[in-house]
Amino acid sequence: MLTRRLIVCLDVDSGRVKKGTRFRNLRTHGTPAQMASAYERDGADEIVFLDISATIAGRQTMLDEVRSTADALTIPLTVGGGVRSVNHIAETLRAGADKVAINTAAVERPALITGAARKFGAQCVVVSIDAQRNGGGWQVATYGGRCITSLDAVQWSERAVALGAGELLVTSIDRDGTAQGYDTALMRAIGDRVRVPVIASGGAGNAAHLAEALRSGADAVLVAGIVHRGEETVAGLKAYLARAGFAMRDVVQETGSLA
């Protein structure tokens, strides 16, 4: 049985973790290194570190913050935000990232996906797709959701994989931070068209939403606000998913032991 992953996302701005709704109205939480370490102890399978102001500010990811976060972890770390070249990817990997997520640069220069996959391996290349509903479909957004392109999100997911992406991080802008559940139609539409892992992001409000996303075809689920605010715990979410029949790593049972 395929093991599913529960991933915690840290949206980082000026050295602090922040979270809002539909990419706006950000609320400040803790430091990325401290929060990442705490989530690992609670059972997170991976951490995603997104420098949410890097692309907008036209700068590279804050590598000092990446290093301190990587030093606090033994689980995989994916880093994104402001990554615009193969050299940037190399620097981010040297700073401790296991994988690098690219969005705006991949849309503007799709050859970056192929170049990165050839140099570092497809397993290191995550294409992040921020998608906004438009009628019966979804359009790709760049620059932190500020620019809505003409790209169809499902078609772009297929092309990104063909170019060398080893994984897709798919975020519904419409659901992000709303706690109304993931856009399962979006996850199903993309999951049906690609053969690489798809991470569902945007909208988790409770454990049942995670199960719905996995049933819709996602291979992993990403959470942020519900654990940052203390409404749910990573351990509790994983235990729920295990009881729902999903194979999960290192599930903490009610006795406190690992399954």
SS (H, E, C) the chain: CCEEEEEEEEEEECCEEEEEECCEEEEECCCHHHHHHHHHHCCCCEEEEEECCHHHHCCCCCHHHHHHHHHCCCCCEEEECCCCCHHHHHHHHHCCCCEEEECHHHHHCCHHHHHHHHHHCHHHEEEEEEEEEECCEEEEEECCCCEEEEEEHHHHHHHHHHHCCCEEEEEECCCCCCCCCCCHHHHHHHHCCCCCCEEEECCCCCHHHHHHHHHCCCCEEEECHHHHCCCCCHHHHHHHHHHCCCEECCCECCCCCEC
Respond yes or no: is residue 98 known to be catalytic: no
Distance of alpha carbon 235 from alpha carbon 253, whole angstroms: 9
In the set 13, 45, 51, 130, the catalytic residue is 130
Respond yes or no: is residue 11 known to be catalytic: yes
In the set 11, 51, 176, 183, the catalytic residue is 11
Question: Active-site positions?
Answer: 11, 130
